[in-house]
Amino acid sequence: MTHRESRRQTLYMYLFISPWLIGFLVFALYPILSSLYYSFTDYDIIHPPKFVGLANYTEMLHNDLFWKSVVVTVRYTFISVPVQLLLALGFALLLNQKIPFRGFFRTAMYFPSMVSGVAMSLLWYWIFNPSIGLFNYVLSWFGIKGPAWLMSPDYALYALMIMSFWTAGSGMILFLAGLQGVPASLVEAAKLDGAGRFRIFLNVTLPMISPVLLFQLIMGIIDSFQVFTQAYVMTQGGPNYSTWFYVYNLYTSAFKEYRAGYSSALAWVLLIVVMLFTALIMKFSNRFVHYEGGGRK
């Protein structure tokens, strides 16, 4: 590439990416840095911020609601993300065979994912109603007397987990796309070598779709650290703080109590935890994720 050509390329690249670049500086970088600054201040949004050093961070350590929100969010994440992934992968494997009505099954499983957001929360608010809802009715078919779900401090979080399984269809679509990318020649070769279904799955299919699995695991964890809608619509964090999610806590302290400084500290802790988790998974994943076209060894 000549010098002139390379300058031309650089110029056009910056021209084209400039919308994103400006957006990045104004709507991402500036907010991140200023929230770092706010996190060291006492700030009510109206009066100018007052520098307080690490006070917000030390307060966090002694704040019961903070710890409650951490426990709730971690418990939710550690159950709902893996189960959702397993369900999605299971559905995808079932549907990746020559089976009658495949198209219908695929659409039916994906359909619930279109009802996400507040609409889904309202629907499940009814489903979990202990006196008239669907869930305890279905349980009664099996002779089980269901609990009070959203109204019970012991069961509210489980109710939200169960609701999250309902949208496993969106992950299923990604797994199906991944499975369709597994070359038939590999599977055939394994079959000729006498491998059974389980061996083929473990040694051919799973390594081939491991990048999809990794992507979904990371995005799933990041999403689940940010649960807000369910808590806001269905439980308002209750009963007895049993669904007091991290972001709900952050929202309340920022926009109900107007503690922008303390909330910014919460925001930074969230940011660091998300980055750490992502880095950790990426590092660990080198051992078991297989990337197309070599790269390993």
- Chain positions 38 to 97 lying near other proteins, rule: CB under 8 A, are 38, 45, 91, 94-95, 97
Per CB under 8 A, the list member of 47, 53, 62, 192 interacting with other proteins is 192
What is the C-alpha separation between 192 and 61, in angstroms, rounded? 60
* Between 109 and 157, CB nearer to other proteins: 109
* Between 79 and 186, CB nearer to other proteins: 186
Q: Would you give the binding string for other proteins spanning residues 149-178, x where CB under 8 A is met? A: -----------------x--x---------
* Between 71 and 233, CB nearer to other proteins: 233
- Span from 53-61, 62-70, 72-80, 179-187 in contact with other proteins (CB under 8 A): 179-187
| 225 lines the binding site for other proteins (CB under 8 A) | yes
Is the CB of residue 85 less than 8 Å from the CB of residue 217?
Answer: yes
| C-alpha distance across the termini of the chain, in Å | 32
| 134 lines the binding site for other proteins (CB under 8 A) | yes
Per CB under 8 A, the list member of 67, 255, 284, 288 interacting with other proteins is 255
Tokens in use for 292? 């197309």
DSSP state of 143: T
Please state the closest distance from residue 234 (CB atom) to other proteins, in A: 6
Per CB under 8 A, the list member of 60, 65, 123, 214 interacting with other proteins is 123
Please state the closest distance from residue 189 (CB atom) to other proteins, in A: 8
What is the C-alpha separation between 30 and 286, in angstroms, rounded? 33
The H-or-E segment that residue 57 falls in is: helix 55-62
- Span from 54-62, 66-74, 151-159, 226-234 in contact with other proteins (CB under 8 A): 226-234
| 280 lines the binding site for other proteins (CB under 8 A) | no
Is the CB of residue 265 less than 8 Å from the CB of residue 57?
Answer: yes
Convert 7-38 into a string of H (helix), E (strand) and C (coil). Answer: HHHHHHHHHHHHHHHHHHHHHHHHHHHHHHHH
DSSP string, 212-277: HHHHHHHHHHHHHTT--HHIIIIITT-STTTT--HHHHHHHHHHTS--HHHHHHHHHHHHHHHHHH
What is the C-alpha separation between 163 and 115, in angstroms, rounded? 12
| 24 lines the binding site for other proteins (CB under 8 A) | yes
Per CB under 8 A, the list member of 138, 144, 202, 280 interacting with other proteins is 138
The H-or-E segment that residue 282 falls in is: helix 260-285
Per CB under 8 A, the list member of 21, 144, 202, 276 interacting with other proteins is 21
* Between 78 and 137, CB nearer to other proteins: 137
Tokens in use for 190? 């394994």
- Span from 50-58, 64-72, 77-85, 271-279 in contact with other proteins (CB under 8 A): 271-279
* Between 53 and 100, CB nearer to other proteins: 100
